[in-house]
């Protein structure tokens, strides 16, 4: 199991990436994160919604209600134009960070 504090600083980028692919609702995002990481990383619901709030405040995503499904209307999230630009920046930042960390960590067992 990976230490969640290492990933926590990148949650905004991870969620932006997922809503950039397609509009999604909270539970779907949570399941997608678990699935893509083979259950090595799971996001708590409270954490997820706190990230949604931060992203909406920064105008990086926006929410809307979908059509009625079982149990009522689902709240979906979509990325904004500003969100796409921000995601592009964070991807570049991540690549540079990864290169620097790799310099010190690769080759060790």
Which range marks the domain in which residue 38 is found? Answer: 4-105
pLDDT exceeds cutoff 60 at 1? no
The string of pLDDT tens digits covering residues 6-51 is 788 889 999 999 999 999 999 999 999 999 999 988 998 899 999 9
The C-alpha atoms of residue 48 and residue 27 are separated, in whole angstroms, by 9
Domain count, the chain: 1
The string of pLDDT tens digits covering residues 42-99 is 998 899 999 999 999 999 999 999 887 777 789 999 999 999 999 999 999 999 999 9
User: In CATH, what number is assigned to the domain containing residue 47?
Assistant: 1.10.10.10
């Amino acid at each position: 199991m990976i230490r969640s504090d290492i990933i926590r600083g990148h949650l905004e980028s991870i969620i932006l990436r997922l809503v950039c692919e397609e509009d999604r609702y909270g539970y779907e995002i949570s399941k997608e994160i678990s699935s893509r990481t083979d259950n090595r990383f799971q996001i708590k619901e409270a954490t997820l919604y706190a990230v949604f709030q931060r992203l909406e405040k920064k105008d990086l995503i926006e929410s809307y209600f979908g059509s009625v499904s079982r149990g009522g209307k689902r709240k979906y999230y979509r990325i904004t134009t500003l969100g796409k630009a921000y995601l592009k920046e964070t991807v570049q930042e991540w690549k540079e960070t990864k290169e620097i960390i790799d310099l010190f960590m690769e080759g060790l067992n």
